[in-house]
Structure 1
Amino acid sequence: MAAPLNRRRFIGISAASAGLSLLPFGRTGFAEAHPVTWNGQALGASATLVIHHHDRSVAERLVERAVAEVARLERIFSLYREDSALVELNRVGALAAPSADLVELLKISQQVWAATGGAFDPTVQPLWMLYARHFSAAGADPAGPSHEQHHEALALVGFDKIRFSRDRVSFSRAGMALTFNGIAQGYITDRVVDLLRDGGIVSSLVDMGEIRTLGIKPDNTPWKVAVDGAPMGDDLSATLEVVDKAVATSSIEGFHFDAAGRFNHLLDPRSGATARQWKSMTVIAPDAAAADALSTAFNLMDADAITAIVRARSGIEVLAAGREKSLRL
């Protein structure tokens, strides 16, 4: 099984005054907020969750519910837990009575796969394993896996080779495998936002490696989100103002299989090659699952293809730093 990616996976909920925004402005309760903090593990990495609320007991209950929800979803989507539903599916090739969340994430993945012409594809895991095995071997060819190895791995890739329903998920070929590393963080972020909203929170910032804002800040201003990798000194702003939307950033610098940095973790399911054109890709979308998946796919697409998708879908914005030019839509 592949090792976790060597990249930041920070989970932080700052319902910054989230509960406070339920109070009329000017009330003394605004100044009496208490932070409740949780530190632990989620999706294979250190995680932190912080909620500010005028009623500490309410904040503590929200923390408990959020932690339980993250743990529940991790048992479904994690590649790094032997007891997860995803690991079982990859091991056996089929899964009976899948959870509703697994089926829903497959539906969302299928939609993004179709919209991006296959650039986003969770069945890319055999390619990931190919690169991981190749570069972990002694004396590995620095040029990467052979043409024959690429061909064999690519034969196991393709979302159209998956069959799924509420009763069963199965692969059409032995050796296929899924990874939700390009969408699960966004999906979990959305579920936590739903939990907070159900708990009465109307203003919050949720950061699970992907960011989603709920409402505006209690001072009636937009949330400000820094964009990692945005070039300074050109027409791209390093800080975004976000209201009721999600932000996801992916970069070829997130992980490299080789010491020379020629082969990164953003693998093209259509060719087997790794991303080259964009150094950093940020997507703003109505929900974090879409932002997460599109930021992955857009790294593998040219400017014209990205522009066509942005124009066809409402509420999508893009900031990309390229090797030769930048893109803002």
Structure 2
Amino acid sequence: MPIRRRFLSIVATCAALAPLSVARAAAASQVSVWRGTALGALATMTLVHPDRATARAQLEECVREVQRLEAIFSLYRADSAISRLNNAGELREPPQELVELLSFGLALSQRSAGAFDPTVQPLYRLYATHFATPGAAPGGPPAPAIARVLRLVDGEAIDLRPDLIRLRRPGMAITLNGVAQGFITDRVADMLRAGGFTDVLVDLGEARALGQRPGGGSWRAGIADPRQPARTILELPLGSDRGALPALATSAGHGTRFGPDPRVHHLLDPHTGRSANHYLSVSVAAARATLADGLSTTLAIMSPARAAAMLRNYPSTRAYLVDASGQLTEQDTARVMT
């Protein structure tokens, strides 16, 4: 499984502390950290808790939950629920989480006039197959091939019920990669909150924070400069402190390129069948990681005017958009709505 490039970095998680493992936590700060991968992204979970054994046990339970959800949403696993749906065209008695997240994705598709569309997977497959062919044209598949595949991209051609998901056209397939990382991040954060953990940072490719970092103050995340990924273009507080939002997600085309041309990437416009290049990156801060993840993907597909109108539907949400020249602009619905 390829590891996705990261666009967020956690800043000063544990000031003056070296990286930690689940088995060893810093006694002075009672910090426990798990590191691994989730849905192809490098991942960490950080807990601040006085009892290291309790924190370790909770982290192990969270890892099991991440693995359970990967068995539902991962397109890299032939036995996952989403892969079985795509292969058969229908799935009876689907996992409740798949119904819930697909319902969210279809609602986002409707609200965005199809800029976000879970049925875009055949288009992704077309590009992957094209670029796996020696001597492939660097601009992507030819227009007739794209036009044929676009007939399969239609979120309204899905039957969705608690007991059945059906794709009504042969060859249709879905992907929830634009929201699954955020969804899993929320599930883990909610588990930790329910378990009594008040100071938490979950970073599974998208981030969500509870409470404060070790030593006090907001957790902080940096958004990478899409032109120089080792450089942080903006640093933001995460959590429940005044002025902060709990979750942050970023979408950027350069993270998953198909070929040598950086303009040909995985952020495919369901209307045109071509990569969207309105922005170099889009980051969204919101109350929940699922929403931040879905909106960052959606806004990255939309023109600036449509993106601004779309964001107004979501109060208390902020977007940070880096255009093709590298200019960063912020849109804050908390201010727009007042």
TM over 0.5: yes
Deviates more, 1:100-109 or 1:31-40: 31-40
The corresponding residue for 1:129 is 125
The corresponding residue for 1:151 is 147
Instruction: Name the amino acid aligned to 1:198.
Output: A
Unpaired stretches in structure 1, ≥5 consecutive residues: 18-29
Q: Alignment partner for residue 66 of structure 1, among 40, 56, 62?
A: 62
Work out the CA distance in 2 between the residues paired with 1:37 and 1:217: 12
Q: Is the 8 A contact 1:10 1:208 kept in 2?
A: no
Unpaired stretches in structure 2, ≥5 consecutive residues: 16-25, 241-245, 332-338
The corresponding residue for 2:23 is none
Identity across matched positions, percent: 40
Work out the CA distance in 1 between the residues paired with 2:7 and 2:224: 14
Q: Kindly report which structure 2 residues correspond to 1:1-329, keeping only aligned pairs within 5 A, or say none.
A: 4=2, 6-8=4-6, 32-44=28-40, 47-217=43-213, 219-229=215-225, 238-244=234-240, 245-324=246-325, 325-329=327-331
Q: Tell me the CA shift for residue 174 of structure 1.
A: 0.7
Instruction: Name the amino acid aligned to 1:327.
Output: T
Work out the CA distance in 2 between the residues paired with 1:92 and 1:286: 36
Work out the CA distance in 2 between the residues paired with 1:74 and 1:231: 31
- Go from structure 1 to structure 2 and tell me whether the alpha carbon gap of 1:218 and 1:36 turns closer, same or farther (over 3 Å shift): closer
Work out the CA distance in 2 between the residues paired with 1:67 and 1:87: 22
Work out the CA distance in 2 between the residues paired with 1:44 and 1:230: 20
Instruction: Name the amino acid aligned to 1:190.
Output: D
Instruction: Name the amino acid aligned to 1:271.
Output: T
Work out the CA distance in 2 between the residues paired with 1:131 and 1:323: 23
- Go from structure 1 to structure 2 and tell me whether the alpha carbon gap of 1:231 and 1:285 turns closer, same or farther (over 3 Å shift): farther
What TM-score do the two structures reach when normalised by structure 2?
Answer: 0.84
Instruction: Name the amino acid aligned to 1:7.
Output: R
The root-mean-square deviation of aligned C-alpha atoms, in Å, is 2.7
Q: Tell me the CA shift for residue 48 of structure 1.
A: 4.2
Q: Is the 8 A contact 1:11 1:49 kept in 2?
A: no
Work out the CA distance in 2 between the residues paired with 1:328 and 1:231: 18
Matched residue SS, 1:291: helix
